[in-house]
Structure 1
Amino acid sequence: MKPKIFIDGEHGTTGLQIRALLADRADLEIISVPAERRKEASARAEFLNAADVAILCLPDDAARESVSLISNGTTRVIDASTAHRVADGWEYGFAEMDREQPARIAAAMRVANPGCWPQGPIATLRPLIAAGLLPGDYPVTVNGISGYSGGGRPMIEDYEARGDEAPEFLLYGLTLKHKHLPELRRYAGLSGDPIMQPAVGNFAQGMITVVPLQLGALPRVPKGAELHATLADHFSAIEGGVVEVAPYEVVERVPDLQPEACNGTNRMKLHVFANDDRAQALLVAVYDNLGKGASGAAVQNLDLMLAGRR
């Protein structure tokens, strides 16, 4: 019997992407509330409880409400909102975070899909902190740029309506209270909040995150090649992982290092750049904010959960 998948919020940006990724999956049955029943208060609860896996593509409060409507002990949940990313009883859905993480996701009843912005910094920082190359109290700064689809339907509509007048580069999060800080702090292994300086560019999707490192104040200063080898060892050990570590190079620029390089995929590509004489390094992650940063990660988590069900 095919597992039943219900996408709660299937008409939003992430929901539409997940529907597209699952459209040709003959091994799944996608169930949807019929158009004529969408205004019925009971219809949503009915379909949530009929699903083997419910994928929530909703604002935070609506996602919490959906979880409260599940009255059985069988419906498993993937929540793409921010609501449950640091909540007790929820597994964090970044499969490459640890060697054991795919198995944890496979066994979980509740999985919180990661946010797009934290995944790159978590991918580059967590293995280095775990290996002792960086301390947990390191003062982290995260810079980056994302396509405007990261802002959801309102920003997409605004950018597309403004056409050539849309800003090429738009800083935001200037109150230093970015909503992804709690998950970034927890899953990177940091003891304090980093500074996040996100920006939106005038392109639809794709992103780059950059973590600059001033290494000179550390008791033992790691070389760039050591940072790279630690990341490469970590991600090569993740069976079925989609995170790739680019070869270590000392170069002025990389022509194909641009935010749209992984678009249309669930891949993430990491780079380490360093100047050992100056004891400085850059940790760079490139991925699709709608792929590994959202819908791609949700489908990856779904497949792990279904594999664990067998």
Structure 2
Amino acid sequence: MTKIFIDGKAGTTGLRIYQRLSKYSDVELITLSEAERKDTAARKRAMNQSDIVFLCLPDQAAREAVTLLDNPETIVLDTSTAHRTNPGWAYGFPELSDQHRESIINSKRISVPGCHASGFIALIYPLVESGILPKSAYLSFHSLTGYSGGGKMMIAEYEDPDRDKSLNSPRQYALGQNHKHLIEVKIISQLEHLPHFSPIVSGFYSGMQVTVPLFKEQLTSGKTVQDVVQVLKQKYQGPIVSYIDSLDVNGFIATNKLQGMDSMQISVAGNEDRILLLSVYDNLGKGASGAAIQCLNIILGKEETYGLEI
């Protein structure tokens, strides 16, 4: 019986992980009472009694939580930004390469990818890896997300029947180009420059759509949109991340298309000159808890889709 503790079970990501784990008959969940869940001594005891710990905490709290571990055998899956670019931690996106998958299997420390970052990296990493897109490329992307990604406070704001009318329209944020996912996307995608990033939150619960626009001149000389499609199609053949020929229905892409699911769909649109790289998924699924559970399944030697909604 594998003992698992979720530090931060009350949050949106922690709660979704807890729900997914309810399907596991071979897992014992270590839980704390409401009075104990913020008690450092109780948390430390639970963590060191566990085979696997999920950290579903703010960044600084996640860093502090790691220092509580004395048990050298405990595996940590961190859903925060805290350790995603730390070379001592595996990056939890196994579809990127065999090396990423092996790192998850062999590491005691795994960092779960960021929600916005997942969609960008899924699109750009294979193109840089294959040489279709140079590492020196100057890129931009925008990401449309449901409000659940903002946590309990934002959820309460959007679900308030008397909410401010500004919440009735999409809202762009991180206008200073300092979003915390930027370093992650640069380093993991092996880029030399930070991209421009425009995240947008809107009035639906969950779902995410990332778009990376490219001019053909940004591709390596001699490469075309057909090369882009071929590489992405070969890279993503399921069952969790899949390339599909078209994401739209009657010319529209619904950002909540995969709401409640743990999968991701990748596609390419546009034309020969102006290319659109597209990814659609749930910010709470492959963008958070679903990715964490997928990594757990790899660690436990289970089917990667076990306990997931695909």
- The aligned residue for residue 241 of structure 2 is 243
1:262 aligns with 2:258: yes
Query: Once structures 1 and 2 are overlaid, which stretch shifts more, 34-43 or 70-79?
Result: 34-43
Change (3 A) 1:285 1:218: closer
Offset of residue 79 of structure 1 = 0.4
Change (3 A) 1:138 1:107: same
Offset of residue 224 of structure 1 = 2.1
Q: How many angstroms apart in 2 are the aligned matches of 1:134 and 1:171?
A: 28
Unaligned runs of 5+ in 2: 303-310
Offset of residue 219 of structure 1 = 5.4
- The aligned residue for residue 2 of structure 2 is 3
Q: How many angstroms apart in 1 are the aligned matches of 2:38 and 2:157?
A: 28
Q: How many angstroms apart in 1 are the aligned matches of 2:127 and 2:183?
A: 19
Q: How many angstroms apart in 2 are the aligned matches of 1:164 and 1:247?
A: 39
Query: Once structures 1 and 2 are overlaid, which stretch shifts more, 97-106 or 15-24?
Result: 97-106
Q: How many angstroms apart in 1 are the aligned matches of 2:92 and 2:66?
A: 17
1:269 alignment partner AA: Q
Q: How many angstroms apart in 1 are the aligned matches of 2:214 and 2:116?
A: 18
| Cα deviation 1:226-270 (Å, max 9, x = unaligned) | 21111111223xxx7511101269x99544x21111111111001
- The aligned residue for residue 290 of structure 2 is 296
| Cα deviation 1:248-293 (Å, max 9, x = unaligned) | 69x99544x21111111111001101311xx210000000000000
Change (3 A) 1:74 1:248: same
- The aligned residue for residue 282 of structure 1 is 276
2:289 alignment partner AA: S
C-alpha contact 2:85 2:188 (8 A) present in aligned 1: no
Q: How many angstroms apart in 2 are the aligned matches of 1:252 and 1:93?
A: 31
2:243 alignment partner AA: V
Give the alignment partner of residue 306 of structure 1, picking from 283, 297, 300.
300
Root-mean-square deviation over aligned CA pairs: 1.9
C-alpha contact 2:216 2:225 (8 A) present in aligned 1: no
C-alpha contact 1:148 1:204 (8 A) present in aligned 2: yes
1:152 aligns with 2:129: no
C-alpha contact 1:14 1:290 (8 A) present in aligned 2: yes
Please state whether the residue corresponding to 1:152 is helix, strand or coil: helix
C-alpha contact 1:96 1:241 (8 A) present in aligned 2: no
- The aligned residue for residue 214 of structure 2 is 213
C-alpha contact 1:208 1:287 (8 A) present in aligned 2: yes
Unaligned runs of 5+ in 1: none
Offset of residue 78 of structure 1 = 0.3
Offset of residue 200 of structure 1 = 0.3
Describe how 1:91-170 pairs up with structure 2 within 5 A.
91-161=90-160, 162-163=162-163, 165=165, 166-170=167-171
Q: How many angstroms apart in 2 are the aligned matches of 1:248 and 1:158?
A: 34
Offset of residue 214 of structure 1 = 1.2
Q: How many angstroms apart in 1 are the aligned matches of 2:246 and 2:59?
A: 40
